[in-house]
Amino acid sequence: MAFQIADIKGFNYLDWDSIFVFYKKEALKHKSALPTKKRINGIFRRLDLNADCKIAFNEFAEAVKPVDIYSS
């Protein structure tokens, strides 16, 4: 659901602008600091696993997948 909310353009992928707008809306809603371009660049680089300047659902899902710290 978070992916769909962030996909403001309805492209079925997230671009840099989509990530920026999503974080900006969240910051305003929670009265926290607005995102900087540097922070969005870092987030985008971390999520864009294949470096195609698009964050596909599978890349997004991998980034938000829970980590089991007790698995071996």
pLDDT in tens, 32-66: 999 999 999 999 999 999 999 999 999 999 998 88
Residue 72 has pLDDT above 70, yes or no: no
For CA atoms 57, 68, 23, 35, the dihedral sign is: negative
Of all helices (H) and strands (E), which one includes residue 39?
helix 37-47
pLDDT in tens, 6-36: 999 999 999 999 999 999 999 999 999 999 9
Please state the φ and ψ torsions of residue 55, each to the nearest 5 degrees: -105, 105
pTM of the prediction?
A: 0.82
pLDDT at position 14: 97
70 confidence band (pLDDT: 50, 70, 90) = confident
